[in-house]
Amino acid sequence: MEPRKTPSQPSIAVLTYTDNASERARRPRGLVSEIVDSLGNSIREGRLPPGAKLPTESEIMAQFDVSRTVVREALSRLQASSLVETRHGIGTFVLQPHDAGNFKITPEDFTTVDDVISVLELRISLETEAAGLAAQRRTRENLAALAAALQAFHDSIHLDSDAVPPDFQFHMEVARATGNRHFSDLMTYLGTMIIPRTRVNTMQSAPEGRLNYLQRVNSEHESIYNAIRNQDAEAARAAMRTHLSNSRERLRRGKNVHTMQPQSASTSTLTHPADLAVTGTNPLA
């Protein structure tokens, strides 16, 4: 009689990592963070739900083309963040989210335009200093990653895209360039929902139109990049503060236009509630 085998819970594959081998070779110290970012986002966005079993160490090694040491360090970081737990001899599993009075920002915290502005104000204080640190500590690898994000944003403008992924990637690379993992961990935690146009129709309400709006954002990113490249910490702080403050003011102006102008069939799209209301779509889509 054969011993009964306990059925194992199927693992859920992580998101395909599309970075090429040459880029991975240029950023060996960032490989742990990249795995943490990918798995952490999959957990927070529900692609790896509570109770799901992560791929095995060997599967993650093959997925990201890294060593076992890198994988184990990444899993240790996820455990330290209370996202997963490892059951010896069984595997690593996603934990239930817990409320223990810890700080958190969820999609529910983006219900109104005022909510989006509040998060922008938090970002101004954090990312302004991150930009200054990035200017002081950036490496050639960091500059290459920032330049790649800038180029991706530029390309997205002409592909009729909202350019949200490369926008978030640029801010993530600034955080990574600080050399302080807590900045990038926080950006990973927040995800792309921190980009205002994932929650508010900023492009539709922009008086200059979608193309000019995104070109202005791109120009602001370029100013941040140039200051970081030149290792000018004060200029980097000023450029980041200007960029995020401009986003805040654009939201405020749009909100005021909606508040001050009467609604009618003949008014512009700025006065329609849907143009300034928070979207009902998935903020991470």
CATH of the domain at 58: 1.10.10.10
Q: 83 and 34: one domain?
A: yes
Residue 16: what pLDDT? 40
Q: 183 and 262: one domain?
A: yes
Q: 166 and 212: one domain?
A: yes
Q: 62 and 123: one domain?
A: no
> What digits encode the pLDDT tens for the residues 139-150?
999 999 999 999
Q: What angle do CA 259, 261, 267 make, to 5 degrees?
A: 130
Residue 191: what pLDDT? 74
Average pLDDT over residues 142-165: 89
Which SS3 state, helix, strand or coil, does residue 223 take?
helix
Binning pLDDT at 50, 70 and 90, where does residue 112 land?
confident
DSSP character for 93?
A: E
Question: Is pTM beyond 0.85 here?
Answer: no
> What digits encode the pLDDT tens for the residues 189-221?
777 666 766 656 555 555 567 788 889 999 999
Tell me how far apart the alpha carbons of residues 225 and 223 are, in angstroms, rounded to a whole number: 5
Q: Report strand pairing: 84-87 vs 91-94.
A: antiparallel
Residue 32: what pLDDT? 86
Mean pLDDT of the chain: 76
> What phi and psi, each to the nearest 5 degrees, are found at residue 89?
85, -5
Max Cα-Cα span within the chain: 81
Residue 283 has pLDDT above 60, yes or no: no
Cβ atoms < 10 Å from Cβ of 254: 21
Phi-psi category of residue 66: left, alpha or beta, with phi > 0 → left and psi -120 to 50 → alpha: beta
Number of domains, the chain:
2
Domain-embedded: residue 13: no
Binning pLDDT at 50, 70 and 90, where does residue 134 land?
very high
Phi-psi category of residue 191: left, alpha or beta, with phi > 0 → left and psi -120 to 50 → alpha: left
Q: 118 and 83: one domain?
A: no
Q: 210 and 256: one domain?
A: yes
Residue 140: what pLDDT? 96
With b meaning 16 or more CB within 10 Å and e meaning fewer, what string describes 7-22? eeeebeebeebebeee
Q: 90 and 111: one domain?
A: no
Domain range for 174: 107-276
Domain-embedded: residue 132: yes
